[in-house]
Amino acid sequence: MKKILAVLGTRPEVIKMAPVIAALSARGLAPKVLATAQHRGLLDQTLAIFGIKPDFDLNVMSENQTLNGVSEMILRGIGPILSSEKPDCVLVQGDTTTAFIAGLAAFYSGIKVGHIEAGLRTHDKYSPFPEEMNRQLLGRLADIHFAPTENAKQNLLSERVLSENIYIVGNTEIDALLMVLGHYKDASKGKKMSERLEKDYGLKFGDGEKIILVTAHRRESFGGGLKNICEAIKEIAAQEKDAVVIYPVHPNPNVQKIAHDILGGLKNVFLTPALDYESFSFLMS
């Protein structure tokens, strides 16, 4: 299996696929990379951090895009590339619309599918939506299943996936995190990142200052769930006056409005734009 096409469309896919691309390249199996750009800005930001330059870019993202529209554009765009490139295997990651539709297109073309982060299940097709059905359907389409845990493997076995087609490989997101944080073993690089966070986002901290880092943007939390989260953050910020709450707010309008309506203007709450992966990892550390 010498010709591999790695497909990614969102920031999490880049993060979790980057160590795989690096490992394949180190072994002389450098894959070609196809970006669907299901999420354009966040995708480009993360590609740059890991030094990945796509060989193909479908650029499918549009304003107020729907799952039907994204699916149609990916399926229409990837077909000719599979026909011309004829890869031995299409690698997809996780449970995005990009991953599922790329796997479906590869199946239609008679090309093997490798699924990274295979076997995750809630067994509720609406939670998370649409990810649970994306990964279940990929479980039927994939030929090689790279499961992060023994539990994930057992889920696949219960669905009659053959044991010899399942490999427990751990969570590639941890590999990505270690790759990025490794840069900051050099104190001067850490100092530069601290200066960048202050310059770009107004984030400045003293030694030992309490930091509460928040991330909340899941589709199934839109509405009441996210409102409850933000009300809880507001209550914590009021009680913990010596703590700084940092909430990088996802660009989705469903998230932006609630976060800014409830938390905007609070003295010890910073609502920043969505941070790039490198900045967020450094802040988390």
Q: Which residues are catalytic, by number? A: 95, 117, 131, 217, 219, 250
**23 residue type, one letter:** A
Residue 43 CB partners (closer than 8 Å, separation 6+): 8, 9, 10, 11, 14, 35, 37
Using a CB cutoff of 8 Å and minimum separation of 24, what contacts does 167-172 make? 169/116, 171/16, 171/117, 172/16, 172/17, 172/19, 172/20, 172/93, 172/116, 172/117, 172/148
Give the span between the Cα atoms of 241 and 257, in whole angstroms. 24
Which pair of tokens denotes residue 239?
Answer: 């009680």
| Contact status, residue 62 vs residue 69, Cβ threshold 8 Å | yes
**Which token pair is 133?**
């059905």
